[in-house]
A and B are shown apart, each in its own frame.
Chain A
Amino acid sequence: MIYEGKQKIWSDYQKEIPDDHYYYVRSCIRQTFFPASEGALLKITRGILGRDVFENEHHTTCGGIAYHTDTIPHETVMTIVARQFALMHKHGYENYVCSCITSFGIYIETLETWRNFPELEAKIAENLKKTCNLEFAKPKFVVHTSDLIYKLREEIASKAKYKLVNVKTGQPLKVVEHIGCHYSKMFPSKGVGGAEYPYVLAGMVEAWGGEIVDYPERRHCCGFGFRQYLIKANRGYSLSNTHKKFESMEPYEPDFIITNCPGCAYFMDRWQYVIAESQGKTYGENGRGIPVLTYEEVAGLVLGFNPWDLGLQTHQVYVEPLLDKLGIPYEPAKKFLGAKGQDLGCPALPTCLKV
C-alpha cells in the first residue's frame, strides 16, 4: 500500500464545512416523524455552542417528495430551490444548512445541474424573478445538519454529561450507523467520506465514546424509496429491504441505530413493528427491538437533555432499555405528557414487539 496515495484519496473524500453563520431550512417529514429533533439541533447549536443559525418562516418544502414520485418536473423543483436560496441571500447568509437528506440531495442535484447547464440556470433565475420577484443567488456552501453536528462533535464531546458507554459493563455501546442514500451515494464528493466510507455518523459515535458495528449490509438502503412505500402494493419491497438489513446486523447485537435521514429513521423504527406483528420476528434484546435515533437525539442525550423533551416517546421501539444502559435518568410517568403537562394518552401497545 502506498500511504501517500491513500492519504490523497481520503483527502478527496473530505468536505469543507463552515464553522458558523448558517441559514437553516427544516424538513417536511421530520417535523411529524421526530418532531423534537430539529428543535434540539437549534438548542445545541445556538444555545449550547453559541453558533449563528438563522431560521426564516417563509421557506417551504424543497419539493423532493413530489419530485421523486414523478408528480412535479425538475424545473419546478429547481425554481423552488432557487427561491430558498434567494431567501438565504436576502437575509445575508451564504452557508445553507438543511435538515433533510432528500432536500440535501435535491439542493446538490440542482446546483450540479446549473453548473453543467448554465442556460437552465438563467431560465430558472428568470422564473424566480417572474414568480417571486426575488434576486437569484447561490450558496457558497450547502451542508446537511449532520455535517454541522459532525463538525461540532468534539465541542459536544467536551460538554457531554454522558458517554455512549454501558454504565453497567463499562464497555462502549455497539452502534449501527446508517447513512441516507441521498447524502453521498448520488454525489460522493459532497458527503464526508464519500459514498464508500461515509464517516459523518461514525465520527460522531466515536467522538462520543461508542463503537461502530461493521456488518455485511451496512450500506444497503433502508427501503424508504418514496414510491416503494407510497404505493401499498410496493410496500413489501420497502419492508424486505429493512428486513435484509436487520437480519444482517442481528448477530452483532447492536445497542441502537443512528441515522441521518428522516425516512431511514422512520422506517427502520416502524418496520420493526410490522415485521414483529406480521412475521413474529423481533430484534434486539428480549424482543424489545433495536432503538433507532436521529443524530440530534443522540447529541441531545449525550448533552444531558431530558429524553422526553427530545421526543423519544414518539419512537415505535421503546428507548428505555437504551437509557438504562447509558445511565440516563427518566420519569416513566411523564413519558406521554404534553408540553403543558396534559396527559396525551398512551398509544396502543403491540403484541409481539415487547415494550
Chain B
Amino acid sequence: MIDFGFYLTPSSTIDLDKVDRKAVDDLARADSGIRTCIACGSCTASCTAGVFADTSVRQAILSVLNGRNEKARELLSSCMLCGKCMMVCPRGINTRHLILSIQKYFDGQ
C-alpha cells in the first residue's frame, strides 16, 4: 500500500438497513413520542441545560432513530428534567417522560 499523505475521511452515511433499530421499537412501546417527533428543535431551543452543556433532546431522538444509542445517552446525561421542552413541543410529546424512558432503557441494558 502507498501512503500518499492524504486519506479517505470516514463516511457519515447512516445505512438504516444495517442499523440495529431494536431500541426504537422498544422505546416506542414505552413512549410513542419517539415516532411523532418532527425534529423541529423547539425543545433544544428552550433547553436551559443546553446553554451550559451538550444537551439536545432533538439530537438525542434522532440519534436513537439512527441507531447511535451511546450518543443519545450522552446528550441526555446532563438533562435536569425541568420540563420546559414539554411545554413548547408542537407535537404535544411528553418529552420529560420520553427522556426518562430513554435513560431508563439504556441504563437497564
Asked if residues B3 and A237 are in contact (CB atoms below 8 Å), the reply is no
A235 vs B4: C-alpha distance when bound (angstroms): 10
Partner of B9, one of A237, A277, A278, A280: A237
Across-interface contacts of B13 in A (CB, < 8 A): 244
> B8 in the interface, Cβ–Cβ < 8 Å?
yes
Across-interface contacts of B52 in A (CB, < 8 A): none
Asked if residues B1 and A236 are in contact (CB atoms below 8 Å), the reply is no
Closest chain B CB from A312 CB (angstroms)? 25
> A233 in the interface, Cβ–Cβ < 8 Å?
yes
> A240 in the interface, Cβ–Cβ < 8 Å?
yes
Asked if residues B5 and A232 are in contact (CB atoms below 8 Å), the reply is yes
Asked if residues B11 and A278 are in contact (CB atoms below 8 Å), the reply is no
Asked if residues B4 and A274 are in contact (CB atoms below 8 Å), the reply is yes
Partner of A232, one of B1, B6, B11: B6
> A142 in the interface, Cβ–Cβ < 8 Å?
no
Across-interface contacts of A233 in B (CB, < 8 A): 6
Q: Which interface class (under 10, 10 to 19, 20 to 34, 35 or more) fits A? A: 10 to 19
Partner of A236, one of B3, B6, B11: B6
Interface residues in B, total, Cβ within 8 A: 11
Identify which of residues 269-284 in chain A touch chain B, using a CB-to-CB cut-off of 8 Å: 274-275, 277-280
Across-interface contacts of B16 in A (CB, < 8 A): none
A233 vs B5: C-alpha distance when bound (angstroms): 8
**Which of the listed residues B6, B7, B11, B13 has the most CB atoms from chain A within 10 Å of its own CB?**
B6
Asked if residues A279 and B6 are in contact (CB atoms below 8 Å), the reply is no
Closest chain A CB from B13 CB (angstroms)? 8
Q: Return the CB mask of B71-93 against A: 1 if under 8 Å, else 0.
A: 00000000000000000000000
A243 vs B13: C-alpha distance when bound (angstroms): 13
Q: Return the CB mask of B11-22 against A: 1 if under 8 Å, else 0.
A: 101000000000
Closest chain B CB from A232 CB (angstroms)? 6
A244 vs B2: C-alpha distance when bound (angstroms): 20
Across-interface contacts of A235 in B (CB, < 8 A): 4, 6
Identify which of residues 31-90 in chain B touch chain A, using a CB-to-CB cut-off of 8 Å: none
A142 vs B3: C-alpha distance when bound (angstroms): 43
Measured CB to CB, the nearest residue on chain B to A279 is B8
Closest chain A CB from B61 CB (angstroms)? 25
Across-interface contacts of B8 in A (CB, < 8 A): 236, 239-240, 243, 275, 278-279
A116 vs B19: C-alpha distance when bound (angstroms): 49
Measured CB to CB, the nearest residue on chain A to B13 is A244
> Could you list 27 A-B pairs, sorted by A, with CB under 8 Å?
A232-B5, A232-B6, A233-B6, A235-B4, A235-B6, A236-B6, A236-B7, A236-B8, A236-B9, A237-B9, A239-B6, A240-B8, A240-B9, A240-B11, A244-B13, A274-B4, A275-B8, A277-B1, A277-B2, A277-B4, A278-B1, A278-B2, A278-B4, A278-B7, A279-B1, A279-B8, A280-B1
